[in-house]
Amino acid sequence: MAGTSPAMTAKVGAREKALMPTFDFAPLFATGLPPAAAKWNGLAKCSFVGGNNDADQVPVDDLIAAMSAVLKREGATLATYGLESGPQGYRPLREFLAQKLKRTAGIACSADEILITSGSLQGLDLVNGILLNRGDTIITEAETYQGSLNRWTRLGVNAVGVPLDREGMRMDALAAALDDLKKRGVRAKYIYTIPTVQNPTGTILPEARRLEMLRLAELHGVPIFEDDCYADLIWDGRRPPALYAMSKQGGVIHIGSFSKSIAPALRVGYIVAEWSLLSRMLPLKTDAGSGALEQMVLGEYCPKNFDEHVPPLTRGLRKKLETLMDALNEQFGTAAEFDDPKGGIFLWVKLPDVVDTLKLYQPALAAGVAINPGPEWTTDKAYGKSRMRLCFASPSHEAIRAGVAALAEVCGREFGVPDRIANVQRT
Ligand X SMILES: Cc1ncc(COP(=O)(O)O)c(C=O)c1O
> Minimal distance in Å, beta carbon 47 to ligand X?
14
Judged by CB under 6 A, the number of residues near ligand X is 14
CB closer to ligand X, 257 vs 378: 257
SS (H, E, C) 158-183: EEEEECEECCEECHHHHHHHHHHHHH
**Position 256: which residue type?**
G
Q: Which of 264, 375, 395, 418 binds ligand X (CB under 6 A)?
A: 264
Q: Which of 125, 141, 227, 300 binds ligand X (CB under 6 A)?
A: 227
Work out which of 101, 149, 229, 262 binds ligand X, going by CB under 6 A: 229
Q: Give the whole-angstrom CA distance, residue 64 versus residue 68.
A: 6
Nearer to ligand X, 141 or 409 (CB): 141
* Residues in 111-140 at the binding interface with ligand X, rule: CB under 6 A: 119-121
Taking the least distance from each CB to ligand X, the nearer of 66 and 268 is 268
| Rounded-to-integer distance, Cα 185 and Cα 238, Å | 40
Taken as a whole, the chain contains a residue count of 427
CB of 22 to ligand X, least distance (A): 33
Rule CB under 6 A: say whether 106 interacts with ligand X: no
Q: How far apart are CB 372 and ligand X at their closest, in Å?
A: 11
Q: Which is nearer to ligand X, 168 or 269 (CB)?
A: 269
* Residue numbers 205-224 binding ligand X by CB under 6 A: none
Binders of ligand X among 45-74, rule CB under 6 A?
A: 51
Helix (H, G, I), strand (E, B) or coil at 217: helix
Closer to ligand X by CB, 217 or 231: give it.
231
User: Environment class of residue 39 by beta-carbon count within 10 Å: exposed (0-12), middle (13-18) or buried (19+)?
Assistant: exposed
| SS3 at position 380 | coil
Q: Indicate the residue among 114 and 355 with the shorter CB distance to ligand X.
A: 114
Q: Which residues, at least 6 apart from 210, have a Cβ–Cβ distance to it below 8 Å?
A: 195, 240, 241, 243, 246
As beta bridge partners, residue 257 has 269
User: d(Cα 78, Cα 58) in Å, to the nearest integer?
Assistant: 25
Q: At what angle do helices 397-415 and 357-366 cross, to 10 degrees?
A: 120
Shortest gap between Cβ of 393 and ligand X (angstroms)? 11
Task: Please give the residues from 143 up to 202 whose contact with ligand X meets the rule CB under 6 A.
Answer: 145, 147, 194, 199
Q: How far is the CB of 149 from ligand X (least distance, A)?
A: 11
Of 355 and 388, which has the nearer Cβ to ligand X? 388
Please report how close the Cβ of residue 11 comes to ligand X at its closest, in angstroms.
Answer: 39
Instruction: Indicate which single residue of 269, 395, 412, 418 sits in contact with ligand X (rule: CB under 6 A).
Output: 269
**Closer CB to ligand X, residue 259 or residue 378?**
259
Closer residue to ligand X (CB): 8 or 284: 284
Name the minimum Å distance from CB 101 to ligand X.
15
Residue type, 108: A
Instruction: Say whether 202 sits in a helix, a strand or coil.
Output: coil
In 3D, which of 314, 139, 304 has the Cα closest to residue 239? 314
Rounded least distance, CB 219 to ligand X, Å: 26
**Using CB atoms within 10 A of its CB, is residue 202 exposed (0-12), middle (13-18) or buried (19+)?**
buried
Q: Which residues contact 178 (CB under 8 A, 6 or more apart)?
A: 139, 188, 216, 219, 220, 222
Secondary structure letter of residue 34 according to DSSP = P
Residue 173: CB minimum distance to ligand X, A? 20
- Tell me the closest approach of the beta carbon of residue 401 to ligand X, in angstroms: 24
Using the contact rule CB under 6 A, the part of the chain among 57-65, 167-175, 257-265, 285-293 near ligand X is: 257-265
CA dihedral 351, 352, 355, 358 (to 10 degrees): 40
Tell me the residue ranges of DSSP E strands in 305-414: 346-350, 369-370, 372-373, 387-391
CA nearest 418: which of 330, 326, 332, 324? 332
State the minimum distance, in angstroms, from the CB of residue 257 to ligand X: 3
**Residue closer to ligand X (CB basis): 59 or 264:** 264
Among 88, 140, 203, 257, binds ligand X (CB under 6 A): 257
Cβ-based nearer residue to ligand X, 157 or 410: 157
Amino acid letter for position 425: Q
Residues interacting with ligand X, by CB under 6 A? Answer: 51, 119-121, 145, 147, 194, 199, 227, 229, 257, 259, 264, 269
